[in-house]
Chain A
Amino acid sequence: MSPEPAGDSPYRHHVDYWVAAVEAGEYPVRQGDLFADVQTADGAHLDAALIVHPTCELGKASVRNVQVACVQPLDALPDKNQRQQVVAGISEKDGGLQIAFAHTFFVAPVEGSALDLPMWADLRELVLAPREQFIPDARIGALTHDARVTFIRRYLYFRLRWSLSFEQVRDMEAARIGADPTFAGPRPDWVA
């Protein structure tokens, strides 16, 4: 697959979302990782959730709850056109390509897992969930570094309406990771 989305495409190819299961053990739990059957801090149950909490916070003992985004199956959207907009992240209107449903992040299936189905994370629906459950063994999918760039990019647009390119966000991530002596797990190959 291509190392980055073509042009401005919001998302990567679906096979490039997740670290292969045999390698996932090398990766600590990070922002963007996918979990199933998450219990929230107020006792509710989520079938699936994506971590949005900053990665560097996840290991801190004083962090009791982790911020996660509720994840829904694509089939939860009855409207075909809306499903397509969530998968694409964009839509064509009046001859132009515009960002569609900025509060959504398309989540590709994790093959062979309990979440082997197309989904979307709802960035409007952030909830707190006790930290203890977010351990590597319970993780369904470890987001690849490249796919995390697309997640950060989408999140920045939703939160701040900053429209940065994939390259701009990746370069910032590369600089940040390169300067982080505590970075754990395999580094992306775009970090010097």
Chain B
Amino acid sequence: MESLDATPTTEVTHRTLKNEQGRVFREIDAAGVVAVRNRGQIDGILMAPSMFDALRSRAANAERLLAALPLLIAAARAEVAIPSETFQALGIGGRDDWRALNELLASVPVTITQGEDGHPLPETSDVVLQHIPVEEDDEELVVDADAATAVA
């Protein structure tokens, strides 16, 4: 994993930020992270968009991992093989036992964060579902078999 150090390597003052914007942005390009100091205190951090995106992505990854951890830990403790790329990469195995895997999944709280294609699942917990009873008509269609065959 690429190292992401968001520690400011240089500082500018409010006055510099206001009066020398060009230089400050060149500093950001060069240094990556610039602290803005005012009256002896750092009250802002400036960084390149690419670094901000990388940090945001890293935070999202950490959140995902946090959701997966209870299952990973439980599987490791129970020594049950689970479908896990991380375990595969680390060489962590376990019993290949469908019963044990099913029991593990049925007992450990898991949070699924992504759909089958890997994209984040939409948040649907606040979607209000309401069942509206309707009267159904039991009448059946009368299909003209000759006409249906003609289309087919």
Q: Which residues of A contact B (CB under 8 A)?
A: 1-2, 5-14, 16, 60, 62, 74, 80-81, 83-85, 87-102, 106, 108, 118, 157, 161-165, 168, 171-172, 175-176, 179
Contact = CB atoms under 8 A, between A and B. Distances in A.
Contact of B68 (A62, A92, A157): A92
Contacts of B124: 162-165, 168
Kindly list the 5 A-B residue pairs having the minimum CB-CB distance in the complex, ordered from nearest: A175-B131, A7-B109, A95-B65, A98-B114, A96-B64
Interface-centre pick from B98, B125, B127 (highest chain A CB count, 10 A): B98
Interface residues of B, number: 45
A49 B140 CA distance: 27
B150 interface: no
B84 A92 contact: yes
A101 B116 CA distance: 7
B103 interface: yes
A64 to B, nearest CB: 11
Contacts of A175: 130-131
A68 B71 CA distance: 33
A84 B96 contact: yes
A93 B115 CA distance: 11
A161 B122 CA distance: 10
A101 to B, nearest CB: 7
